[in-house]
Structure 1
């Protein structure tokens, strides 16, 4: 082997060692840079300017939606809060506000309708409803409700709206004319029979 080949053979492993050492040093530097950057970000967030920037970021609508919808921690926190005694008290107080209660009910309406429709198809739920309706106390309460002034006013309002409707008026006219025809035919048959 010539001296030149020897040098090349020796240079290749040395070159490989140098590259590996450079990579190791780069990885260590990257780790140190990451730790330094992390510490710097944490320090920045603790400043008044950092807190203000964070609050502005959270105030954005799409960011809040993403945080609420995607975070398991937030979901668990809300669930724990709702089931706690303080949470129940809080919601009872909040629901006393008519504007909030209206908005909350409207937001849940379509979901509640889906649940109710699926329950109406459930035989067990149907049987429970039938048992409730057959209960004598339920019948008494329904009668009491029908006797109330508010209920009667509501029924009168519905009847007035129906009478003002052109469709309802034409339907009533048709029914009355059919009833009159039956009555006149009955009278004619009685005259012929006597």
Structure 2
């Protein structure tokens, strides 16, 4: 009889614990959904955004985010190919400072690609075919005659003239030309005097 009472008590305790576990699991599920909603709501507030920006600003956190290159690659691909991504990049590229920095960051890689293409015989042949095409020559000539092309050339020349590098280069070239002219006039005078 004691044996049956012990078995009955163990069974009751086991059933009680199983019921408690089941209830706890349901509560945990509800707590998870509530916690998830609360976290999302917190992140949408100004304080949440500020905290997130501060977290991202930490050097070690940025390194960890950048380390997952597969995720970054997939995110960039999805961002660039979406309609919103295309609109965003078109808007961002209107900023001259950003466009310049972006172009400079890509310049080395673009040069490598172009140089490798220039060595590729099939690419060379394709370029030659394009340049030999009479229609291409006519289009180029027509383009050069256009008012827009001339205005663009004038704008490029004006922009170049304002560049300190270009001005220094032109000054150097003019100095060399004047020096060369002076030497040839001296040589002519010496030859004429003799």
Q: TM-score, normalised by structure 2?
A: 0.50
- Work out which of the two has the higher radius of gyration on C-alpha atoms and give 1 or 2: 1
